[in-house]
Amino acid sequence: MVSEVFKHGYDSPRGEAFIQRMNAIHRHYAIGNRDFLYVLSTFVYEPIRWCDRFGWRPFCQQERLACYYFWRAIGDRMGIHDIPPTYEAFEQFNREFEAEQFAYAPTNQRVADATRHMLLSWFPVVTRPVVNWGLPCLLDPPLLAALGWQPVPVAVQQLANTALKTRSRLLRRLPPRTEPDFFADQSIRSYPEGYTLEDIGPEALRSRL
């Protein structure tokens, strides 16, 4: 869904259709506005933080603001209210929400473990033990604690950080892409023969959507 909106824009017929589909799915769950706000904020700030740490270059200020206004526009179309009015205010909300709400729960761990299993399936079998060991290196201590995951040794964390930063230095030397690379244009394991809008959503809900 995100890639479709990235590619076509939130005001395009296809982008609007995917946002409406997302809203229809969300209506089947009791989700509070603050929870919507927090998830929306992660789409703004987590990619920026990742690229600041491991990208071939950090975001410039215009790009940071573009991320904020892009996702704010999507939040408006999702019916999310009280979106903080500035980039800085929304980031402060993001930090404060995490400090207040991050805590361990068994449900957190079940979702995290399922996500970890899914991510590992994307890699060749022989590399999965290394990837499985390296995943916690990418998470900070409060998130690790909330998910019930154990931190890996400091030496492994340093090795993972060094590997990712080496990758970023190598990427700087490559010629820039001339065409965007959208996830929606790639072969997607869940839809090996492609998908339509009606295919998107939890299987148990699709007949009602």
Over 90: is that where the pLDDT of 145 sits? yes
* Look-up of token digits 């244009």: 185
Given this model, what pLDDT does residue 46 score?
96
Given this model, what pLDDT does residue 92 score?
98
Beta bridge partners of 188: 191
Over 90: is that where the pLDDT of 61 sits? yes
Residue pair 35/18 in contact (Cβ under 8 Å)? The answer is: no
Delimit the domains of the chain by residue range. 103-174
Q: What is the pTM of this model?
A: 0.90
Structure tokens at 93: 């909300």
Over 90: is that where the pLDDT of 51 sits? yes
Confidence of residue 207 (pLDDT cuts 50, 70, 90): confident
Confidence of residue 186 (pLDDT cuts 50, 70, 90): confident
Q: What is the mean pLDDT of residues 108-124?
A: 95
Alpha helices in the chain (DSSP H): 2-8, 13-26, 33-54, 61-77, 87-101, 106-120, 128-134, 141-147, 154-173, 203-206
Report pLDDT digits (tens) over 78-92: 999 999 999 999 999
Report pLDDT digits (tens) over 62-76: 999 999 999 999 999
CA dihedral (32, 35, 39, 45) positive or negative: positive
Rounded CA separation 125/50 (Å) = 26
Structure tokens at 180: 């965007």
Structure tokens at 115: 């996500």
Rounded CA separation 57/44 (Å) = 17
Structure tokens at 194: 């492609």
Judged on CB neighbours under 10 Å (0-12, 13-18, 19+), 98 is: middle
Given this model, what pLDDT does residue 178 score?
83
Over 90: is that where the pLDDT of 60 sits? yes
Over 90: is that where the pLDDT of 206 sits? no
